[in-house]
Every structure is written in C-alpha cells, then in structure tokens.
Amino acid sequence: MLGMMIAGETFASSRSVVEKPIVVILMGPPGAGKGTHAKPLGEQLGIPHISTGDLFRENIQNQTSLGQTAKSYINAGRLVPDAVVLDMLFARIDQPDCNQGYILDGFPRTVAQAEALDPRLKNSRVIAVNLNVPDPLLVERITGRLACKECGKLYHKKYSAPASQGQCDLCQGTLFQRDDDKEEILKKRLEVYRAQTEPLIEYYGKKDVLREINAADSPDSVFHLVLDQIAEPVARG
Ligand code: ADP
Ligand code: AMP
C-alpha cells in the first residue's frame, strides 16, 4: 500500500524523507464526499480512516450510553457536544494503528474541537482538504445516499446504485437510508454546518495547511484531485 505512486515518487519513499506521521483532515458539508474518499484514501496511504459519525453510529447500534447520548443530537441534525466527541476521538487516535498518521472524516466540526486537536498535531504533517460542492447537489447526494448495514460501503440511488436493489455488491448486506439524511433534518444539518463548521476553512487557511478542491465531478476524478493535493507537499518534503 505504501508503495503507491504520487507525483512521480512513491508515497513510502517520500514519507521516509519526511519522517513525520501524516494527518489528513477531510472537510466539507454533509454530502461533499468525505466518507466516499476517506476509506480508499486510508487504504492507499496505509493509515486508518476515522469517521466520528461512524463511531457514533456504531455506539448507537451497540446501545452504549455514548450512543444514547449522541442519538438525540444526531437525529435532530445538531452537533454532539464537544466534550463527548473529544473523549471518543482522542481514545481512537491514541490507538497504536494511528502512529503513522490517520484520516479524519467529520472531525473537527467546531473551532473548539480544532483547538483541542492542535496539540496532538504538533509532530505531524497536516493537510486539510476542503471538498466544495454547490448546495443543490449536496441535497441530491444526501437524499439519495444508501449505506450497507454490514460493511458500511456507500452507494447513491442515482450516481452509484448497487447492482441489486437494496443489497450491497460487496457483502450482500442490507442497504439503508440514515434517519438524519431525510430532507427536513438535512436542512438543519446544513445550517449547523454554515454556523459552526464552515469557520474551520479560515482556521486551517491561516495555518497554511488548507487545500481547496472542486468536488462536484465524478467520484473518480475528485479522488484523483484529493490524491494530488496530498502528494504535493509530501513529495516536496
Ligand atoms: P459525506 O461523508 O461528506 O457526508 P458521502 O461521502 O457519504 O458524503 O457522500 C454522500 C453521497 O453522495 C453518497 O451517496 C455518495 O455515494 C455520493 N457521492 C459522493 N461523492 C460523489 C461524487 N463525486 N459524485 C456523485 N456522487 C457522490
Ligand atoms: P456524519 O456521519 O459525519 O455525517 O455525522 C453524523 C452526525 O454525527 C452529525 O450530524 C453530528 O450530529 C454527529 N457528529 C459527527 N461528528 C461530529 C463532530 N465532530 N462533532 C459533533 N457532532 C458530530
């Protein structure tokens, strides 16, 4: 995995020059494509993909007390309180598989979360990739999103439909629509994004780690744009 070619050299060789863990922060509103790209990106770079939304959904499914707390916020389209998210996220990035870096999807979502994360990034190469998609397309993407109950693979009713309706191509698991992807909750999530999460664009812009991407094209072409942005500073070392 680490031997992938980026910008004319392998990721492994450029990393051995840099000798720093890489932390990729995937940013963008709901439906921008964070989850779609985070998983294959993690596989290509050989580092874990951490989605705070997925961690909450696992906790909800396992009926933990964390899941119970999170559920009421998620189903109202609101953010889970910072303290709850931070405890969960820090416990995850303290795991040994994050030593070489990790990809964050859906975190941070507030300036307070970003500030709390900062001390943990001191010895890492940080790249914040912001996926830009016009609002009408976001609504279409989210209201058409389907996910596999078993393996989490994402589909879209129109853009990436499964071969067999309601069934995952990879594991034959059942596909479902998230409760918070209904149009009325999505409206609230987009408002919350503008008010609480969008300021992070300026936050990471000031730190000079922000990369802006037009993410309105096909998943394949967007994925290559994301890879280009990650390769560039790594290859320069
Ligand atoms: P996010 O994690 O940012 O909320 P997702 O990655 O879950 O967004 O994508 C939302 C929906 O849009 C999914 O159904 C996914 O299949 C679809 N999707 C993602 N990227 C694209 C794209 N570039 N073109 C078309 N559909 C996309
Ligand atoms: P996602 O899967 O990223 O779309 O997240 C689904 C929901 O989980 C969000 O709408 C929030 O309610 C909650 N959530 C996920 N990540 C965070 C976070 N970093 N801070 C607060 N709430 C979060």
pLDDT digits (tens, 9 = 90+) for 40-81: 999 999 999 999 999 999 999 999 999 999 999 999 999 999
pTM: 0.92
Known catalytic membership, residue 189? yes
Known catalytic membership, residue 57? no
- Mean pLDDT score of the chain: 91
Q: What is the pLDDT of residues 108-167, one digit of tens each?
A: 999 999 999 999 999 999 999 999 999 999 999 999 999 999 999 999 999 999 999 999
The residue behind tokens 């790209």 is 37
Query: Which DSSP state fits 124?
Result: S
- Of 69, 89, 109, 142, the residue with max ligand 2 atoms within 8 A of its CB, to mutate for a pocket test, comes to 109
pLDDT score, position 231:
82
- Whether the CB of 34 sits within 6 Å of ligand 1: yes
**Residues near ligand 2 (Cβ within 6 A):** 30, 52-53, 56, 73-74, 78-80, 85, 106-109, 113, 180, 189
CA of 159 to the centre of ligand 2 (A): 24
CA of 9 to the centre of ligand 1 (A): 29
CA of 9 to the centre of ligand 2 (A): 36
Q: What share of the chain is helix, strand, coil (3-state, %, to 5)?
A: 50, 20, 30
CA of 17 to the centre of ligand 2 (A): 35
Q: Could you give the CA distance from residue 27 to residue 29 in angstroms, rounded to a whole number?
A: 7
- Whether the CB of 159 sits within 6 Å of ligand 1: yes
Judge residue 164's burial from the number of C-beta atoms within 10 Å of its C-beta, 0-12 exposed, 13-18 middle, 19 or more buried: exposed
Q: What whole-number percentage of the chain has pLDDT above 70?
A: 89
CA geometry: angle 1, 97, 224, nearest 5 deg: 40
- Of 80, 117, 138, the residue with max ligand 2 atoms within 8 A of its CB, to mutate for a pocket test, comes to 80
Q: Does 34 have pLDDT greater than 50?
A: yes
Of 194, 234, 187, nearest in space to 77 by CA: 187
pLDDT score, position 18:
52
Of 223, 216, 211, nearest in space to 44 by CA: 223
